[in-house]
Structure 1
């Protein structure tokens, strides 16, 4: 019985509903995930790794798919104009205070939902190497995937929680039914095994008849 419950618990941990901020990606255990609940038209910053190199190509990835790349030369410090991706402006900017570089998304819209990360490839000096930032930014759209203000939620803010509760309840009922069925089958198997291993006793009438058929001779 304990083995069956362990199996059910392990299946629950593996198949249970995941956190709402998780999306398919190859996140490492040491990465930091920052969740941003953005309104349409907001600006989102995606930090890039700090690289001590003169020439670096920075790439912006959305759900592990590259959507933009920018060449950065430290001596020239020339950054290109704003391109657009699905109507969202993308710009590579440098923070002069700490010499950090980051991508800036301006005017986010419904297509901006996903996990963003920055990746840098060192061109000079050699050797050629690629470094990914430890910071990942999960962009959620207010009213669709998140609620920025709990007092005045968006049109679909509470709707997702209702579905999550319904799915959790259904999963718990199914897991309980499976556990009960397995437990009943094990009880039946144990009962049959005990019955087969038990040696039946001889009938009392048969033993009495044997005593009559083979009397013990008496000597006077």
Structure 2
């Protein structure tokens, strides 16, 4: 009984791991992750930001949970003034005058720039001061050889196949052990019926005696 409980527990753990791996892989392959940009070393990459929707706004760029730069935008009648609060970070804010879309441009990136970037924006003027709810995110990979999402999905499918094969192998070994142990225990149990059958086998078959009809006569 203890072996059966152990086998059920192992199978449940394997199935849970398979289901979680499947959901994660499907999430990646279906495009539920933020946009991924693969760039080479010393190249430029753009990170989208919220739309410029006020006269004065503050745009902040985060790498993970750390703020890496911040640029203050003030729109005049004829120009857009920028105030970079992190001049040492190689980035600038670009604003498209046609649709007011904005994005940070990272210059001459290295492998240390790899990470998840989030762009936040705050409306400074006109009041009231408020934070823009839309916060675009972008995953940046900086490396010599570009890795595509299709390759990631292919490796994930291979991992799933190996997990399924391992779960089936563990289940087969456990069930085979249970059956073997049960057969040994059953062979050690001697029932009265089995004992009678064994005695008949060694004593041979005894045929019933045929008795004829006869009359007792009294002389």
What is the Cα deviation at residue 30 of structure 1? 9.7
3-state secondary structure, aligned to 1:146: coil
Question: How far apart, in 1, do the equivalents of 2:14 and 2:32 lie?
Answer: 31
TM-superposition CA deviations, 1:30-61 (whole Å, max 9, x none): 97622222111211111111253332211111
Segments of 5+ residues of structure 1 without an aligned counterpart are 23-28, 148-157, 206-220
Q: In structure 2, which of residues 3, 14, 22 is the aligned counterpart of residue 8 of structure 1?
A: 14
CA distance in 2, matches of 1:33, 1:176: 35
Q: Distance in 2 between matches of 1:175 and 1:14?
A: 14
Q: How big is each residue's C-alpha offset from its partner over 1:115-163, in whole Å with a ceiling of 9 and x where there is no partner?
A: 2121112233215234342x4222212325637xxxxxxxxxx9x99x9
Which of 167-176 and 51-60 deviates more? 167-176
CA distance in 1, matches of 2:73, 2:31: 27
- Deviation of 1:14 (Å): 2.4
- Of 120-129 and 91-100, deviating more is 120-129
Q: Confirm or deny: 8 A CA contact 1:41 1:106 kept in the other structure.
A: yes
Q: How many residues align?
A: 179
Partner of 1:179: 171
1:138 aligns with 2:144: no
Q: What pairs up with 1:106-145 in 2 under 5 angstroms?
A: 106-124=107-125, 125-133=127-135, 135-143=136-144
Does the CA-based 8 Å contact 1:79-1:93 persist in structure 2?
Answer: no
Distance 1:51 1:93, change over 3 A: closer
What TM-score do you get using the length of structure 2 for normalisation? 0.59
Q: 1:79 aligns with which of 77, 82, 87?
A: 82
More off after superposition, 103-112 vs 179-188:
179-188
Give the aligned CA root-mean-square deviation in angstroms.
Answer: 4.4
Aligned residue in 2 for 1:210: none
TM-score, structure 1 normalization: 0.59
Matched residue, 1:216? none
Counterpart in the other structure of 2:106? 105
Q: In proportion to residue count, which structure has more helix?
A: 2
Q: CA offset at residue 105 of structure 1?
A: 0.5
Q: Work out the CA distance in 2 between the residues paired with 1:105 and 1:140.
A: 13
Structure 2 spans left out of the alignment, 5+ residues: 1-6, 198-219
